[in-house]
Structure formats: C-alpha cells, structure tokens
C-alpha cells in the first residue's frame, strides 16, 4: 500500500506563516513601545478610545428619529462632543469637590478607625497606639507635597495631551475616505477595502459603545444603592465603579470593596456594610450575567487566560489605566485579526470558543 504524498506547501501557506510571524512581531514591538514611549503612546491610545465612543454615540444619534426626522452627521458628532465635554467637566468637579469633602470628613474617620484599632489591639494586649499626628511627624512633608504636585501636574498635562490628540484624530477622519480612494486605484480593491474598514469599525464601535452603556447602568444602580444607604461620596464611587467595570474579574470586586469598606469607618453599625456589600455584589452579578450577555452577544469572546495575561501585562506597564484599556484593546485585536485570512488563527487563539463570529475574511 503506497503512502499518500504530503501536500506541497505552496506560496499561500508560506504567505500565511510570514503574516502570522509579522503579526506577532508587531505585538512584540507594540509592547516594547508601551514601555519606552509611555508618555506618548498612552495619551494617544486613550484619545483613540474616546474618539470611538464619540463616533458610536454620534451614529446612534443619527439613526434615532426625532419628531420624524433624523439628525445630520455633523449634528450627531457635535452633540457627542458636547456630551463628552460636559462629562469631563462633571468628573473634574466631582473629584475636586470630593477632595474637599474627604478633608472635612477625615477627623470623623480618624476617630472611628482609632476606636476600631484600639478595640482590636486591646484584644491582643497592646495598650499604646501612636496617634496620627505622631505618624505625620515622621513624614517628609516637603517631599510628599512635591511628589503630589508633580503627580497632579502630570495628570493635568496628560489630559491636555489627550484632548489635543482627540481634536486631531477627529480632523483626520474627515480626509480618511479620500486617502483610501487614493491608495486603491482599482474599483474592486477600493470597494473591498472600504467594506473591510466599515465592518471592523462597526464591530469595534458596537463593543465599546455597549460596554460603556452596560458600565453606566452598573454605575447608576450602584449610586442608587449607596445613596439609599447613605454612603459618603456616592457619586465618586459610582464613577469609579463605572470605570472599573471595564476591568474583568478584578474591577467588579474592587468596585464593591471600596465603598463597602468605607461603611465600616463611617457607621457604628455593621448593617450598612452588609447591605452595601450584598446589594452592590448583586447588581454586579445581575448586570454581568444577565444584561451584559444579552446586549453584547458573542462580541465578548476572549479566552479567560488571554484576559488574565493582558491584565497582567497592561497593568504592569500602564497601571490601572492599562488594565482598563486592556480589555477593549484585546477585543479590537481579535476583531481585526478575524477579518484577515492570514491572521485568523491568531483570532482563534485569542477567542474563548474558537468561533470568531463566523466571519468571512477579506484577505
């Protein structure tokens, strides 16, 4: 019985191997740039995601009928930008006001914490506990103040950089279509390229938009719970829960832990702690297991191992901001890879089930 000769490796197979190798090389290069060019790359990545949110909101506004008429594209984008500006101003004022409120509430928290520590340490036979004032004397106030001012200046500078990037990315979008036409002279190639860009953009906008909507629902419900219990700084915690909801696994846990732990030093009873922790956890579970899967469908199809690795890598390089950006970035990477035949194996590896939405690759 003659053995069947192996199938020859043709140019297409070689091309796919080269493309996959090039894709992994690009990933390695990007990680390297994340480390050495953080000051430049991080504000730019944040600006890209903000622009995706603006585009997603603008598209939904233009598709919605108002008094039987649809908004023009420019009106939808203008409203989206105004909403973003209003949200940015609201967030800045919220942080500023909470800093003042925390300063005013610190004496009460200090007394409650000291009482809790005294009771706990007395159980172990410790009688003397250094006061907060004594601990402050051991701190180099000048150095601490200088570090704080530098951190605030860095944050302010980054926000201004992000705003500038957003403006220029929006301006670049106006001429992007013309550039695509100039790059592809043949009508068929141009049509395929436009279809590919439109599908990738639509999928990315859908994911980012729905994830933001789901996170907003979680933040709103959480705010209602904390306001009803009387937790201090409920608005700030709700915004924090909204942001942390972009971080899988860890984000929801941290979002519940912070306000729940605050109730321990704010109230004399354990009832607010139990109610806050239980209800906030229930909100997270309900949104994460019921609402989000129905809205997101299969768009969130990442392997848990890939999620954990991306959280570790992005968190190690860019901190909490990197952890927030890691999930959308990996989803975008999978969507883009799924739309090319050569990089489709990469998308399958990144996915949880191996099913990349049964796409038909363009190239």
Residues 6+ apart with CB under 8 A from 190: 180, 181, 184
The pLDDT value recorded for residue 265 is 81
The pLDDT value recorded for residue 192 is 75
Spatial CA neighbour of 267 closest among 230, 233, 238: 230
Residues 6+ apart with CB under 8 A from 201: 55
Residue 186's φ and ψ, nearest 5 degrees, are -75, 140
The pLDDT value recorded for residue 141 is 45
Residue whose tokens read 């922790």: 277
The pLDDT value recorded for residue 279 is 92
Length of the chain: 363
* Alpha-carbon separation of residue 359 from 17, 334, 354, 362 (angstroms): 20, 12, 12, 9
Measure the N-to-C terminal CA separation of the chain; round to a whole number of Å.
40
Per-10-residue mean pLDDT, the chain, length 363: 50 65 77 83 86 85 79 85 86 75 71 67 57 50 49 60 87 80 76 76 78 88 91 87 83 86 82 90 85 64 82 85 82 78 80 66 50
The dihedral through the CA atoms of 36, 37, 43, 48 has a sign that is negative
* Alpha-carbon separation of residue 332 from 152, 168, 179, 258, 328 (angstroms): 31, 21, 22, 30, 6
């Amino acid at each position: 019985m003659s053995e069947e000769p192996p199938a020859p490796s043709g140019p297409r197979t070689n091309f796919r191997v080269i493309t996959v190798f090039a894709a992994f090389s690009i990933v390695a290069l990007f990680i390297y740039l994340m480390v050495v060019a953080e000051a430049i790359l991080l504000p730019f990545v944040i600006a890209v995601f903000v622009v995706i949110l603006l585009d997603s909101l603008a598209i939904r506004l233009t598709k919605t009928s108002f008094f039987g008429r649809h908004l023009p594209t420019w009106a939808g984008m203008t409203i989206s930008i105004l909403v973003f500006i209003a949200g940015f101003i609201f967030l800045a004022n919220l942080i500023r006001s909470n800093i003042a409120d925390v300063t005013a509430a610190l004496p009460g928290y200090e007394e409650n914490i000291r009482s809790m520590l005294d009771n706990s340490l007395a159980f172990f036979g410790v009688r003397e506990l250094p006061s907060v004032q004594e601990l402050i004397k051991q701190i180099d106030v000048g150095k601490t103040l200088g570090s704080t001012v530098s951190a605030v200046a860095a944050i302010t500078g980054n926000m201004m950089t992000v705003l500038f990037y957003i403006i220029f990315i929006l301006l670049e979008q106006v001429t992007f279509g013309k550039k695509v036409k100039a790059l592809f002279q043949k009508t068929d190639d141009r049509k395929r390229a436009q279809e590919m860009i439109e599908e990738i953009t639509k999928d990315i906008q859908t994911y980012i938009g729905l994830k933001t909507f789901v996170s907003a629902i979680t933040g709103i419900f959480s705010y209602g719970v904390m306001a009803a219990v009387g937790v201090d700084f409920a608005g700030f915690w709700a915004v924090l829960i909204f942001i942390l909801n972009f971080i899988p696994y860890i984000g929801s846990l941290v979002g519940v832990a912070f306000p729940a732990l605050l109730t321990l030093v704010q109230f004399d009873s354990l009832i607010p702690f139990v109610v806050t922790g239980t209800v906030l956890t229930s909100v997270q579970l309900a949104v994460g297991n019921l609402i989000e899967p129905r809205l997101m469908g299969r768009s969130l199809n990442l392997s848990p191992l890939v999620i954990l690795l991306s959280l570790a890598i992005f968190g190690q390089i860019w901190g909490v901001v990197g952890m927030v950006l890691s999930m959308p970035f990996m989803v975008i990477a999978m969507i883009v890879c799924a739309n090319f035949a050569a990089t489709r194996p990469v998308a399958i590896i990144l996915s949880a089930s191996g099913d990349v939405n049964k796409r038909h690759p363009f190239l």
